[in-house]
C-alpha cells in the first residue's frame, strides 16, 4: 500500500448504504465515527486496489473520532485539492548505482519513488510507466501531481523527453528536475521546456557524431578501435556448456584460457565471459525472430 491510496479511494462516494460517505470524506461507522479502514466496496472501485484485502484510514483522517463531512474534490479544471510528488530514478546499466538519485529525491521530500536500471533506448520502461499511471490516477481524483526526477537525462533527451512531456501535458501532470540544465519546475507544454528538451537531444547527437568522427579518423591512420578480442568460438562453446551446468560467471572464467594475443595463456575476466554470452544470446534471439 502507498501513502496516496486513501486519496484514490476517497475520489468516489462509498456505495455502502450504511456509510454513504461522499467523495472527499473517509468512510464512517454506524455510530458516526471515522472508520479505521475503508469499506471494501469503496476501495474496489479503484482498479489498482481491487484485489487489496484492506485499506487503512490514514492518521490525517483521525480514525475513531466523530465523523464530519469534508469538502468534495474540486471539479476538473478547478484548483486542485492537495499536491502529490512522485519520484522516478533510472540508471542505464545494472552496474550503475541509483544511490545519488534516490538520496536526492528523499532529500527533496519525495517519499513515493519508482526506480529501475534500464536504457533510455528501451521501448518500454515499466517503472516509469507505473509512475505515470499513478500520477494520472491521482490527478483524475482532483489532486495536483508532479513527477520529480534528479536530472532530465534520467527521463531521456530530445524526442524521448518531448514525447513523455506530451503524455504528462495530456494528463495535467507537472514536471520537476532537481539538478542539471533543466533544473526547476516545468510546464511540459511550455515553450521554454520544449526548446531546452530539443537542445539536450542535439547535445547527445553532437557527442555521438564527434565520437564517430574520431573513430573514423583513427581507422584512417591504421589504428584499431576497442580492445583486442580474447574470445573465440571454442571458448564460447565451453562457456555455454558450463552455463548449462549452472556454473557461475567467475567459475566459468577460471576454466577458460585465452589462446591468442598479448593475454595468451591467461583467464578472461568474468565481465568478458558475461559479454560473450550476452552477445551470443542476443544473436540467437535475433535469428529466432520471424
Give domain status of residue 209, yes or no.
no
Work out the mean pLDDT of the chain and round it to a whole number.
Answer: 80
Name the grid cell of 187.
510546464
Residue 271 has pLDDT above 50, yes or no: yes
Name the grid cell of 281.
544470446
Q: What is the pLDDT of residue 115?
A: 94
Q: What is the pLDDT of residue 217?
A: 60
Q: Are residues 98 and 15 in the same domain?
A: no
pTM: 0.47
Name the grid cell of 286.
535475433
CATH assignment at residue 165: 3.40.50.1390
Residue 77 has pLDDT above 50, yes or no: no
- With beta carbons less than 8 A apart as the criterion, state whether 140 and 77 touch: no
Which residue in 92, 115, 254, 269 is the catalytic one?
92
DSSP state, 197?
Answer: H
Q: Are residues 64 and 89 in the same domain?
A: no
DSSP state, 84?
Answer: E
Q: What is the pLDDT of residue 175?
A: 86
Residue 128 has pLDDT above 60, yes or no: yes
Between 237 and 115, name the one with better pLDDT. 115
The conformational region for residue 226 under phi > 0 = left, psi -120 to 50 = alpha, else beta, is left
Q: What is the pLDDT of residue 21?
A: 92
Q: Are residues 164 and 268 in the same domain?
A: no
Name the grid cell of 151.
536530472
Mean pLDDT of the 252-276 span = 86
pLDDT digits (tens, 9 = 90+) for 85-98: 999 999 888 778 89
- With beta carbons less than 8 A apart as the criterion, state whether 43 and 16 touch: no
Rounded to whole angstroms, the Cα distance separating 206 from 79 reads: 43
Residue 120 has pLDDT above 90, yes or no: no
Q: Are residues 195 and 87 in the same domain?
A: yes
Give domain status of residue 20, yes or no.
yes
Q: What is the pLDDT of residue 63?
A: 93
Rounded to whole angstroms, the Cα distance separating 92 from 96 reads: 7
Domain boundary among 46, 72, 98: 72
pLDDT digits (tens, 9 = 90+) for 11-20: 888 988 889 8
The rounded percent of the chain whose pLDDT value lies above 70 is: 77
Give domain status of residue 228, yes or no.
no
The yes-or-no answer on residue 92 being catalytic is: yes
Give domain status of residue 105, yes or no.
yes
Q: What is the pLDDT of residue 206?
A: 44
Rounded to whole angstroms, the Cα distance separating 76 from 34 reads: 27
Lowest mean pLDDT among 2-6, 197-201, 234-238: 197-201
Domain boundary among 72, 105, 121: 72
Q: Are residues 97 and 66 in the same domain?
A: no
Domain boundary among 72, 107, 126: 72
Give domain status of residue 57, yes or no.
yes
Spell out the residues 6+ positions from residue 116 whose beta carbon is closer than 8 angstroms to its own.
Answer: 89, 90, 91, 125, 126, 127, 128
Q: Are residues 123 and 147 in the same domain?
A: yes
pLDDT digits (tens, 9 = 90+) for 35-56: 999 999 898 888 788 788 899 9
Give domain status of residue 45, yes or no.
yes
Rounded to whole angstroms, the Cα distance separating 193 from 197 reads: 6
Q: What is the pLDDT of residue 87?
A: 95
- With beta carbons less than 8 A apart as the criterion, state whether 34 and 61 touch: yes
- pLDDT band at residue 195 using 50, 70 and 90 as cut-offs: low
Per the structure, the count of domains in the chain is 3
The rounded percent of the chain whose pLDDT value lies above 90 is: 23
DSSP state, 212?
Answer: H
Q: Give bridge partners of residue 185 from the DSSP assignment.
A: 176
Rounded to whole angstroms, the Cα distance separating 80 from 142 reads: 5
Residue 197 has pLDDT above 60, yes or no: no
Q: Are residues 104 and 173 in the same domain?
A: yes
Name the grid cell of 20.
454513504
Give domain status of residue 206, yes or no.
no
Lowest mean pLDDT among 96-105, 113-122, 156-165, 233-242: 156-165
- pLDDT band at residue 149 using 50, 70 and 90 as cut-offs: very high
Give domain status of residue 276, yes or no.
yes
DSSP state, 56?
Answer: B
- What is the Cα Rg of the chain in Å? 27
Q: Which domain holds residue 133?
A: 83-200
- With beta carbons less than 8 A apart as the criterion, state whether 145 and 83 touch: yes
Q: What is the pLDDT of residue 8?
A: 84
Rounded to whole angstroms, the Cα distance separating 255 from 132 reads: 47
Residue 73 has pLDDT above 60, yes or no: yes
Widest CA span in the chain:
87
Amino acid at each position: 500500500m502507498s501513502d496516496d491510496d486513501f486519496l484514490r479511494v476517497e475520489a468516489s462516494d462509498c456505495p455502502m448504504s450504511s456509510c454513504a460517505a461522499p467523495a472527499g470524506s473517509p468512510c464512517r461507522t454506524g455510530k458516526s465515527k471515522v472508520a479505521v479502514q475503508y469499506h471494501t466496496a469503496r476501495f474496489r472501485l479503484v482498479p489498482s486496489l481491487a484485489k487489496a484485502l484492506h485499506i487503512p484510514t490514514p492518521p490525517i483522517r483521525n480514525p475513531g473520532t466523530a465523523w464530519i463531512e469534508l469538502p468534495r474534490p474540486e471539479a476538473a479544471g478547478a484548483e486542485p485539492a492537495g499536491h502529490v510528488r512522485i519520484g522516478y530514478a533510472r540508471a542505464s546499466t545494472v552496474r550503475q548505482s541509483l544511490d545519488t538519485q534516490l538520496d536526492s529525491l528523499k532529500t527533496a521530500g519525495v517519499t513515493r519513488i519508482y526506480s529501475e536500471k534500464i536504457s533510455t533506448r528501451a521501448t518500454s520502461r515499466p517503472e516509469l510507466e507505473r509512475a505515470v499511471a499513478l500520477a494520472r490516477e491521482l490527478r483524475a481524483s482532483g489532486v495536483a501531481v508532479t513527477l520529480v526526477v534528479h536530472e532530465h537525462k534520467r527521463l531521456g533527451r530530445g524526442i524521448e523527453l518531448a514525447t513523455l512531456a506530451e503524455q504528462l501535458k495530456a494528463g495535467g501532470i507537472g514536471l520537476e528536475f532537481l539538478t542539471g540544465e533543466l533544473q526547476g519546475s516545468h510546464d511540459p507544454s511550455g515553450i521554454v521546456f520544449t526548446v531546452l528538451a530539443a537542445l539536450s537531444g542535439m547535445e547527445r547527437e553532437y557527442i555521438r557524431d564527434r565520437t564517430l568522427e574520431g573513430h573514423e579518423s583513427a581507422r584512417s591512420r591504421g589504428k584499431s578501435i576497442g580492445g583486442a578480442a580474447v574470445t573465440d568460438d571454442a571458448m564460447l562453446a565451453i562457456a555455454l556448456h558450463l552455463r548449462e551446468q549452472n556454473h557461475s560467471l567467475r567459475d566459468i572464467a577460471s576454466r577458460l584460457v585465452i589462446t591468442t594475443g598479448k593475454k595468451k595463456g591467461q583467464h578472461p575476466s568474468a565481465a568478458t565471459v558475461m559479454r560473450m554470452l550476452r552477445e551470443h544470446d542476443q544473436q540467437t534471439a535475433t535469428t529466432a525472430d520471424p
